[in-house]
Homo-oligomer: A and B are copies of this chain.
């Protein structure tokens, strides 16, 4: 039996729209076994996903195709706490789970970069699959040769994250539809310079610099309006001198502080205000997807 663990991922980080993602230690677990009864059995997910269209299976199959091997009869078990359509990379986790599972199944014929290339084609963009594979904070894009370029930034241990997961979804399509199509030149320079400061502040763990850097003009001012109570969450974060960004296209928001005591206070206060929401103190996953043969 093969067991795969894949971190959830939080994309954009304010000023890294569509090219930056962070791996966090909210894990999805997948097991893959020979199936003697049927071509495919999938458990651990809603019944509408228990078929060949399942992304974990699609990922597995993509590796089989890439290395020219027949797809084995499979029993796949999925165990995940990553909520769907909340901006925590649930689809990326499934794709990467399938890819890494198949790669382990066939004794690691592909390296991480090759897995990333396949994952990016399947997901359509690399900003969640890159940190899901490599861990940490990753900048990734498809270059002019159709290769995926990745820069991995080490995340300073001083930074403490809290995932604030509302009890409602935001569809990526809706989150895209509220965005303008153009930006002014000064705003582009703003985005470029602030993304450079953001990646630097994440490395150094300088919270006040991170706060200054996470000042987005590209998506957050528009998407914040789609997230009910965003302003209230923002006010709580400001009160504790912590930084808030929208994870992916929402609805999850991520708070960042550098004080464990403040982290605990943030969790308590937001939980009290929104008892229906999940408020999860969370660590960075610096390792990325892991696989083992049991």
Q: For the complex, is A248 an interface residue (Cβ under 8 Å from B)?
A: no
Q: For the complex, is A167 an interface residue (Cβ under 8 Å from B)?
A: no
21 contacts between A and B (CB under 8 A): A17-B188, A17-B189, A19-B193, A19-B196, A139-B193, A139-B196, A141-B194, A144-B212, A145-B212, A149-B197, A149-B213, A181-B184, A182-B184, A182-B185, A188-B191, A188-B218, A191-B191, A191-B192, A192-B195, A195-B195, A196-B199
Contacts A182-B182, A184-B181: A192 and B143 contacting too (C-beta < 8 A)?
no
Measured in the bound complex, the distance between the Cα atoms of B143 and A197 in whole Å is 11
Residue contact A196 to B193, C-beta cutoff 8 Å: no
Question: What residues of B have a CB within 8 angstroms of the CB of A180 in the complex?
Answer: 185
Interface size, A (range): 35 or more
Q: For the complex, is A179 an interface residue (Cβ under 8 Å from B)?
A: yes
Q: For the complex, is A18 an interface residue (Cβ under 8 Å from B)?
A: yes
Measured in the bound complex, the distance between the Cα atoms of B198 and A151 in whole Å is 10
- How many copies of this chain does one complex carry? 2
Q: For the complex, is A16 an interface residue (Cβ under 8 Å from B)?
A: yes
Measured in the bound complex, the distance between the Cα atoms of B144 and A101 in whole Å is 47
Interface string of A14-38 (1 = CB under 8 A from B): 0111111000000000000000000
Q: For the complex, is A113 an interface residue (Cβ under 8 Å from B)?
A: no
Q: For the complex, is A58 an interface residue (Cβ under 8 Å from B)?
A: no
Q: For the complex, is A209 an interface residue (Cβ under 8 Å from B)?
A: yes
Beta-carbon nearest neighbor of A186 in chain B: B18
Q: For the complex, is A173 an interface residue (Cβ under 8 Å from B)?
A: no
Q: For the complex, is A183 an interface residue (Cβ under 8 Å from B)?
A: yes
Question: What residues of B have a CB within 8 angstroms of the CB of A213 in the complex?
Answer: 149
Q: For the complex, is A287 an interface residue (Cβ under 8 Å from B)?
A: no
Q: For the complex, is A290 an interface residue (Cβ under 8 Å from B)?
A: no
Residue contact B192 to A15, C-beta cutoff 8 Å: yes
**How far does the Cβ of A208 sit from chain B's closest Cβ, in whole Å?**
10
Question: What residues of B have a CB within 8 angstroms of the CB of A189 in the complex?
Answer: 17-19, 141
Residue contact B188 to A179, C-beta cutoff 8 Å: no
Measured in the bound complex, the distance between the Cα atoms of B139 and A190 in whole Å is 12
Measured in the bound complex, the distance between the Cα atoms of B215 and A141 in whole Å is 13
Q: A149-B197, A151-B200, A182-B183 are in contact. List 20 more A-B contacts (CB 8 A).
A: A17-B185, A17-B192, A19-B193, A140-B193, A141-B190, A141-B193, A144-B212, A149-B212, A151-B197, A179-B185, A181-B185, A182-B184, A183-B183, A185-B218, A188-B191, A188-B218, A191-B192, A192-B192, A195-B195, A196-B196
Which A82-97 residues have C-beta < 8 A from chain B? Answer: none
Measured in the bound complex, the distance between the Cα atoms of B185 and A185 in whole Å is 12
